[in-house]
Structure 1
């Protein structure tokens, strides 16, 4: 096992002197719209914003997961107004943005494999939908829009460097997939439409690999490796190490992701900035399997081919997030994986039917 796992706690500093929830008091009574707020991150973010005293409206198609998954996410209990709709519906977006103070744009066709299979859907959601959100945010004079982007824009990083790479915000980008291309376009378009003289500020957050309960995998996907590996091990299936599991990820717990995203709405230095949201610690897919295996005696791994568009990956340079967000991730990978396994053991019905039926 690499030092990336054993040293997970050492590289993560304690919370900022001023706790995040105290800083988020600035959002009390503010109107915040979260597109895509029905997903794993969105529901956690929405609940956090509600605790801070914001009035939150979620716009989501609610079709990315089966109903059972949304029940696990607890979307209905976040305290937000839920509007079932599509970001490509300009009339709906305009109505929700009217009078809004802030927007978090998290809605996307957010799956590398699915975007590769259906680039037409990816274009519709991630490009056309984002364009509508940006235009309507500017027209409504929203104070600040936070765009959720992805570390996938880095691809494998500098092709001349061997081994795990640290990704910094200003380096050359090498997107390897339709999904990554759509996220990079969204970043450029956000800067174009909301930069300069726009009354609406923007901030861009590049998520690294999000994980944490109650995450559930989607069929035909190769993302969400903690959920994938843990559920396979629990069912007695081999843990699939695509490409041998040498890919490196910067695993960020969903609670940390939600906190950083909320802070991007209110930190003054974030205006017009792009920051990584990661731990700054590399963890390989094989490392994760080795953390999960002791919980399920007899579990084993099998090496499978690396899917197209699946980057070798890297980990976040966190200097800018520490400076501009005044934030650092708090949950080490070992703790986060243990939390997930405990939750999965206590919630066996969380395993999707399509996966459990594969061993029937």
Structure 2
């Protein structure tokens, strides 16, 4: 094991020294008070569990209406993690003020986070993703919090550069061309975060652009075309054809929820993340059809059908990962093959996870 001496005579870390674990790095959050808006959902619940493992004091602010109540308790289980759960709306200024008043850190993950639903109801998207975010930012700016992490989305990239055909890599500093109501609301949230936070006397901020998050216990929502691992897996389990919108040529950067939770927790404490925007993705493009082909061997009756491309569904791309490696000191550990297999195993062992409305739908 070799060491290197730099020009100042200091000894650097051994070149093949093991990486500091996420758990070791998160020890900085011991006894810290962390507020997580939207903390009872898929990413939020995994994040909260990780924060609790680091002995942080966690408060969740969530309306608990994104899924049926039974799903929040039986699947996400944040109520059982030893945290304070406040059932409330981020548009309720008094509720937000109460939970943030004594916070050291804030993760703003609450959102109307469904592309199709935002297209159908832009009024709800505006209230949740714009008005609610404004309240959270103002109350954080007025608090003694050290940093807010804003959960944004790769949807802000839209279809990327229209001159490029096929999959393209999305860089944090490229021109942003959102193609949906949801993406537009997330881009506004990014700009507003930069305007209101990060001053010399106020809280810092960091922005994370999540790519396609998946993993158990993710379940589909009615009328949605997101969460393709969950959608395709459940259709296959029900013995129905896996629907490939537009033939399944769209590319996604699938990043497992456990990796996303780790990245989000690290964004609270990594010094170089202050004022930065970073992709949270794998840097590996995967087509929708490829995902279906990973699922199919687990369900002997699997087959595919091609359906029209939904409005606002981006053609897709994948994350540039230089910033996440350098500023966040993070890289994903679960590749898509392993992640899809985990999901299918969980679904097979948890048959009640298939929503009743989905099981009752007539086969295509």
On whether the aligned pair clears a TM of 0.5, the verdict is: yes
The 5 Å alignment of 1:276-295 reads 276-295=279-298
Is the 8 Å Cα contact of residues 88 and 129 (structure 1) preserved in structure 2? yes
Q: Encode CA deviations 1:252-296: one digit per residue, 9 max, x unaligned.
A: 000000000000000000000000000000000000000000000
Q: Write out per-residue CA displacement over residues 33-66 of structure 1, whole angstroms, 9 at most, x where no aligned residue.
A: 0000010000000000000010000000000001
1:214 is matched with: 217
1:336 to 327, 336, 339: 339
In structure 2, the CA distance between the partners of 1:147 and 1:163, relative to structure 1 (3 Å rule), is same
Q: Quote the Cα distance in structure 2 between the aligned partners of 1:342 and 1:159.
A: 39
Contact 1:16 1:327 in 2 (8 A): no
Query: 1:43, 1:64 → 2: CA distance?
Result: 13
Which residue is equivalent to 1:33?
35
What's 2:69 paired with? Answer: 67
Equivalent pair of 1:151/1:276 in contact (CA under 8 Å): yes
What is the rounded CA distance, in whole Å, between the counterparts of 1:68 and 1:161 in structure 2?
45
Structure-2 separation of matches of 1:217 and 1:227: 6
1:297 aligns with 2:300: yes
Contact 1:146–1:205 (Cα < 8 Å) also in 2: yes
1:234 matched to which residue of 2? 237
- In 2, the alpha carbon distance for the partners of 1:265 and 1:15 equals 25
**Mapped pair 1:192 → 2:195:** yes
Query: Does the alignment pair 1:272 with 2:279?
Result: no
Q: Hey, what's the Cα distance between the residues in 1 that align with 2:114 and 2:256? A: 18
More moved, 192-201 vs 299-308? 192-201
> 1-side partners of 2:109 and 2:218: how far apart?
16
* Contact persistence 1:205–1:274 (CA under 8 A): yes
Q: Tell me how far apart the structure 2 counterparts of residues 18 and 50 of structure 1 sit (CA, whole Å).
A: 19
Deviation at 1:69, TM superposition (A): 1.7
* 1:4 equivalent in structure 2: none
Structure 2 SS opposite 1:302: strand
TM-score, with length taken from structure 1 = 0.95
Of 56, 59, 63, the residue aligned with 1:57 is 59
2:100 alignment counterpart: 97
Runs of at least 5 residues in structure 1 that lack an aligned partner in the other structure? 1-13
Partner of residue 147, structure 1? 150
Q: Distance in 2 between matches of 1:300 and 1:342?
A: 19
SS in 1 for 2:151: strand
Choose 1 or 2 for highest CA Rg. 2
Instruction: Please name the residue that 1:316 is paired with.
Output: 319
Change (3 A) 1:16 1:48: farther
Cα RMSD for the two superposed structures? 1.3
Residue 75 of structure 1 deviates from its aligned partner by 1.4
Query: How many residue pairs were aligned?
Result: 347
Which consecutive residues of structure 2, in runs of 5 or more, have no partner in the other structure?
Answer: 1-15
Q: Distance in 1 between matches of 2:323 and 2:362?
A: 46
What's the CA shift for 1:197?
2.9
* Structure 1 residue 358: Cα displacement: 1.6
TM-score, with structure 2 as normaliser? 0.94
Q: Contact 1:205–1:277 at 8 Å: present in 2 too?
A: yes
2:23 is aligned to 21
C-alpha displacement at 1:201, in angstroms?
Answer: 0.2
Aligned-pair CA distance for 1:79: 2.1
Q: Provide the C-alpha distance between the structure 2 equivalents of 1:196 and 1:160, rounded to a whole number of angstroms.
A: 37
Deviation of 1:78 after TM superposition, in Å, equals 2.1
Give the drift of 1:95.
0.7
